[in-house]
Amino acid sequence: MKTGVIILGHGSRAREANLVFSKLVEMIEQKVEYDLVSRASMELAEPNLEQSVADLVAQEVEKIVVVPLFLFPGIHMQEDIPCLIEEVSQQYQAVEFLLGDNIGADEKVAEIMVDRIAEVG
């Protein structure tokens, strides 16, 4: 079964923010063993989730794992993202959709923050 991953970010009007997002997705792609890895934005930038799903389906993906690049379990995680996935799953009923969890309170994030503090302190 051909599987794709979509890293789902918030999106931004800022070009620099979208470049960082793309770079992070490329880094993730190098570290995972999935057939295809792509990105999507909730708003303010493209591709959006529907566009990324359509692209993966055009490449004959049968399973799509959507992993939000969100730190906290806010409204996007609780309501908006599940609704978006429900909408695209209705369009592509032959495709299995799985939703990953948000990043949350993770030691790796704490370590990154300690590094950032040390950089300025």
Query: What is the extent of the structural domain holding 106?
Result: 3-120
Tokens in use for 85? 């996935």
Those residues whose C-beta lies under 8 Å from the C-beta of residue 101, and which sit 6 or more positions away, are: 68
Number of domains in the chain: 1
What's 74's domain CATH number? Answer: 3.40.50.1400
| Angle CA 46–28–39, to nearest 5 | 15
Q: Is 89 left (phi over 0), alpha (psi -120 to 50) or beta?
A: alpha
Tokens in use for 53? 């799903």
pLDDT value of position 121: 81
What would the pLDDT profile of 5-50 be if each residue is shown by its tens digit? Answer: 999 999 999 999 999 999 999 999 999 999 899 999 999 999 999 9
What would the pLDDT profile of 72-118 be if each residue is shown by its tens digit? Answer: 999 999 999 999 999 999 999 999 999 999 999 999 999 999 999 99
pLDDT value of position 43: 93
pLDDT value of position 55: 97
